[in-house]
């Protein structure tokens, strides 16, 4: 380019360029469109029309971006990211709480309305633009570029505490290599010449005591930090080393890890299902689980919790989905991938629910039998002391072989006769239904209820090792996706060795994660789980939906998908993206805000003297910290919008300034009355082949304006228009 052009002057000046496109191009040498890839978006020597609406390079062009070794690695990565700990310990709890089998109806409906469409949307934009979350949304609509930054920050918050859970699983995994299991019985302490059970354990249970005292050594409030828990600190260090080794080579290393971490949990789940179905009482648990309570379907709370579970089960908004898909070829069938991964996720949740309630059904029977034995001894004591008459006991009742049905009959007779003084006897009903209705989730399911059930298994250490090894792999798969959601946008923006970036990220995360391995760390895990992701991610996803469906344009996006996939997606997606999904997300955000406003902000503190949990309100500093997590996660959204609206920072979609790009767009729109191809190709219009069918409109750089040559009924893609391609962004 001649040195005296205004383009050259622009590189050394901060003043906006005001020259016309005709002046800009008149000094250029004529281009041969047949040998230029930038003129029409064609490969050299080709005259076929351009298919893509987005100004992207040739799909087969070598851009130096890593790629998956094969399709299986990619699918396993997406499955490993979406199928996580929530499928095992959150979905079964929600299913039981919200009507059993009836809960599956709203869940499946919302999976179709918001789950699959939005998952497909994220896969498509990542695959099309081939950038991480920051680069993608900078490119689609620069003023909403804060979407990617918010996704990255939420990934950071979630990764900090999620890896702590993997650390807990690692601790339990190594503790499982002994018989009997260390949480099978309460420890005995010496009091002089007497041996007594530890009071805290006696008031709770062996597994509860091991979790709160032996593992967490928890304090009684969030105000009392208690110092670092060395066992948990070491476990967290091991967890971060595993994550770092898995992602240090990018998808080349994480793809290999996914072969094991994504498939092994299914092996364990099937083993547990087979073993669980052989246990006494397993059918009781499964029948209780799937007995539908249809009246629950009319409660708004059920639909809100189903929408939230769909939302987080697929990993929407985290950036991991976009990052993984950005390493695909542009002609990959991401529509099939979206449906496949969503179905696998749903089936995994059902499988995990069967396993959990088969095991919990067995546990409920064991605990119910224990209850019957304990209360039968109480009744015998009352009979021997004369408090109860032997005439109250049915003649066919045999205390040496007392069944649950026999106890229930005896309990009913005593309650009817001793109605006035019955409460003083302290007898329990010992109903199996009550045991099955004790809903547990999260750490309460994995580290207390399930571990207690496994103590009654034959060869319990083997099953314990398998269970916690499965949790480690489930968590590792999700952490790989979370870390990819963090590192991919940074690697896109800065030329950094991925090995150095991964090590730095893991070291920083470990140091920040020390907050969660204090003796009070479990309370901070709860805080981050409740506040750092829920509302920010919902806002992120609705902005993703709006930026594609309403700002970029649903029709244009559907055309892009047709060009990319080779077929046009169903019209169903058009209406979901444009109307239904945004409406459902708005309702979800509203319901979340209302719930946060009306529900007390607090946590369940462990009271050592009582051997039980007690709800406590957050102190002012902790409440400020909780709300700060929400604010910090969403702060990039308005900051980036304002900064780019007033041209304070680059628009991020290409290397040219905002003012220059806007000036070009304005001049291009004035070419309607001129022979545009005379400046671009140095040829007459009759000599230039039509690069696009007449019915297509070309979307200009950044996706903010259609550029159509009305004189010829065709759209012309030029060299200077190609500045908005993904290869030049960031």
Q: What is the rounded CA–CA span in Å between residue 503 and residue 509?
A: 10
Q: What is the rounded CA–CA span in Å between residue 18 and residue 86?
A: 55
3-state secondary structure of 216: coil
The answer on whether 474 is annotated among ligand-binding residues is yes
3-state secondary structure of 243: helix
Q: What is the rounded CA–CA span in Å between residue 577 and residue 590?
A: 19
Place of tokens 């929408």: 307
What would the 3-class secondary structure string for 622-675 be? Answer: HHHHHHHHHHHHHCHHHHHHHHHHCCCCCCCCCCCCHHHHHHHHHHHHHHHHCC
Catalogue the long-range contacts made by 21-27 (C-beta closer than 8 Å, 24 or more residues apart): 21/664, 21/667, 21/668, 21/671, 21/679, 21/720, 22/667, 22/674, 22/679, 24/667, 24/720, 25/679, 25/680, 25/720, 26/679, 27/1, 27/2
Task: Report residue 602 as tokens.
Answer: 């607090």
Would the CA dihedral through 491, 494, 500, 504 be positive or negative? negative
Q: What is the rounded CA–CA span in Å between residue 352 and residue 273?
A: 8
In the chain, helix, strand, coil percent, each to 5? 65, 5, 30
The answer on whether 87 is annotated among ligand-binding residues is yes
What would the 3-class secondary structure string for 63-77 be? Answer: CCCCCCCCHHHHHHH
Catalogue the long-range contacts made by 336-343 (C-beta closer than 8 Å, 24 or more residues apart): 337/74, 337/75, 337/78, 337/123, 338/116, 338/119, 338/120, 338/123, 339/116, 339/120, 340/75, 341/75, 341/78, 341/79, 341/82, 341/119, 341/314, 342/111, 342/115, 342/116, 342/119, 342/314
The answer on whether 437 is annotated among ligand-binding residues is no
Are 464 and 130 in contact, with CB atoms under 8 Å apart?
no
Task: Report residue 416 as tokens.
Answer: 């009817």
The answer on whether 478 is annotated among ligand-binding residues is yes
Pairing of strands 602-607, 698-699: unpaired
Please state the separation of Cα 459 from the chain's center in Å: 34
Strand-pairing partners, residue 603, are 616
Reported residue count of the chain is 730
Specify burial of residue 242 (Cβ count, 10 A radius: 0-12, 13-18, 19+).
buried
**Residue 391: how many other CB atoms lie within 10 Å:** 9
* DSSP secondary structure of 328-396: S-TTS-HHHHHHHHHHHHHHHHHHHHHHHHHHHHHHHHHHHHHHHHHHHHHHHHHHHHTSS-GGGS-TT
Q: What is the rounded CA–CA span in Å between residue 514 and residue 516?
A: 5
Pairing of strands 602-607, 612-617: antiparallel
The answer on whether 27 is annotated among ligand-binding residues is no
Tell me the backbone φ, ψ of residue 386, rounded to 5 degrees. Answer: 85, 5
Q: What is the rounded CA–CA span in Å between residue 388 and residue 149?
A: 71
Q: What is the rounded CA–CA span in Å between residue 349 and residue 86?
A: 9
Task: Report residue 102 as tokens.
Answer: 């009836």
The answer on whether 517 is annotated among ligand-binding residues is no
For the annotated binding site, the residues are 80, 83, 87, 345, 474, 478
For the annotated binding site for Na(+), the residues are 80, 83, 87, 345, 474, 478
């Amino acid at each position: 380019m001649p040195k005296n052009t205004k383009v050259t002057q622009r590189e050394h000046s901060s003043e906006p360029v005001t020259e016309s496109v005709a002046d800009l191009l008149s000094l250029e040498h004529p281009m041969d469109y047949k040998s230029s890839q930038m003129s029409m978006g064609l490969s050299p020597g080709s005259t076929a029309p351009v298919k893509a609406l987005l100004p992207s390079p040739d799909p087969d062009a070598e851009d130096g971006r890593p790629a998956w070794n094969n399709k299986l690695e990619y699918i396993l990565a997406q499955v490993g990211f979406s199928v996580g700990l929530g499928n095992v310990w959150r979905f079964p709890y929600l299913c039981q709480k919200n009507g059993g089998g009836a809960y599956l109806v709203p869940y499946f409906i919302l999976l179709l309305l918001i789950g699959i469409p939005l998952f497909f949307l994220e896969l498509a934009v990542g695959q099309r633009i081939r950038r991480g979350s920051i680069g993608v949304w900078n490119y689609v609509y620069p003023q909403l570029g804060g979407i990617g930054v918010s996704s990255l920050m939420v990934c950071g918050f979630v990764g900090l505490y999620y890896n702590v859970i993997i650390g807990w699983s690692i601790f339990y995994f190594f503790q499982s290599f002994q018989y009997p299991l260390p949480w099978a019985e309460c420890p005995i302490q010496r009091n002089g010449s007497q041996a007594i059970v530890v009071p805290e354990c006696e008031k709770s249970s062996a597994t509860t005591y091991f979790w709160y005292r032996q593992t967490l050594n928890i304090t009684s409030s969030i105000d009392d930090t208690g110092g670092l828990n060395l066992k948990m600190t070491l476990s967290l260090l091991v967890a971060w080393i595993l994550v770092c080794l898995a992602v240090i080579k990018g998808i080349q290393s994480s793809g290999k890890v996914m072969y094991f971490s994504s498939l092994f949990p299914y092996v364990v789940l099937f083993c547990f299902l087979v073993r669980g179905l052989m246990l006494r009482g397993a059918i009781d648990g499964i029948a209780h689980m799937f007995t539908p309570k249809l009246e629950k379907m009319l409660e708004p709370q059920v639909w809100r919790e189903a929408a939230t579970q769909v939302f987080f089960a697929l990993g929407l908004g985290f950036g991991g989905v976009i990052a993984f898909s950005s390493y695909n070829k542009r002609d990959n069938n991401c529509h099939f991938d979206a449906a496949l991964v969503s179905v696998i996720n749903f089936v995994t949740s059902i499988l995990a629910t069967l396993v959990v309630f088969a095991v919990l059904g067995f546990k409920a029977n064991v605990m119910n039998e224990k209850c019957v034995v304990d209360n039968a001894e109480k009744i015998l004591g009352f009979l021997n002391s004369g408090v109860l008459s032997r005439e109250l006991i049915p003649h066919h009742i045999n205390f040496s072989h007392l069944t649950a049905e026999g106890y229930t009959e005896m309990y009913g007779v005593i309650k009817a006769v001793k109605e006035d003084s019955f409460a003083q006897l302290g007898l329990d009903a010992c109903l199996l239904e009550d045991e099955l209705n004790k809903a547990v989730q999260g750490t309460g399911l994995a580290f207390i209820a399930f571990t207690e059930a496994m103590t009654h298994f034959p060869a319990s250490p083997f099953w314990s090792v398998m269970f916690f090894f499965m949790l480690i792999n489930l968590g590792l798969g999700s952490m790989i996706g979370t870390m990819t959601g963090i590192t991919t946008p940074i690697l896109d923006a800065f030329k950094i060795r991925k090995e150095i970036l991964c090590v730095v990220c893991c070291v920083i995360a470990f140091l920040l994660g020390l907050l969660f391995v204090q003796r009070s760390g479990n309370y901070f895990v709860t805080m981050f789980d409740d506040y750092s992701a829920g509302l920010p991610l919902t806002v992120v996803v609705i902005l993703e939906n709006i930026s594609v469906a309403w700002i970029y344009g649903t029709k244009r996006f559907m055309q892009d998908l047709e060009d990319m996939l080779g077929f046009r997606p169903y019209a169903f997606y058009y209406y979901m993206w444009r109307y239904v999904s945004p409406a459902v997300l708005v309702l979800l955000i509203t319901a979340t805000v209302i719930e946060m406003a009306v529900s007390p902000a607090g946590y369940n503190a462990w009271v050592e003297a009582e051997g039980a949990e007690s709800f406590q309100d957050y102190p002012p500093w902790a409440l400020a910290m909780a709300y700060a997590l929400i604010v910090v996660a969403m702060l990039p959204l308005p900051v980036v919008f304002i900064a780019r609206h007033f041209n304070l920072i680059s628009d991020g979609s290409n290397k040219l300034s905002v003012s220059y790009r806007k000036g070009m767009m304005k001049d291009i729109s004035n070419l309607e009355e001129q022979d545009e191809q005379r400046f671009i190709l140095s040829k007459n219009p009759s000599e230039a082949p039509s690069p696009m069918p007449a019915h297509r409109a070309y979307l200009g750089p950044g996706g903010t304006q259609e550029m159509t040559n009305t004189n010829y009924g065709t759209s012309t893609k030029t060299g200077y228009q190609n500045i908005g391609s993904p290869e030049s962004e960031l």
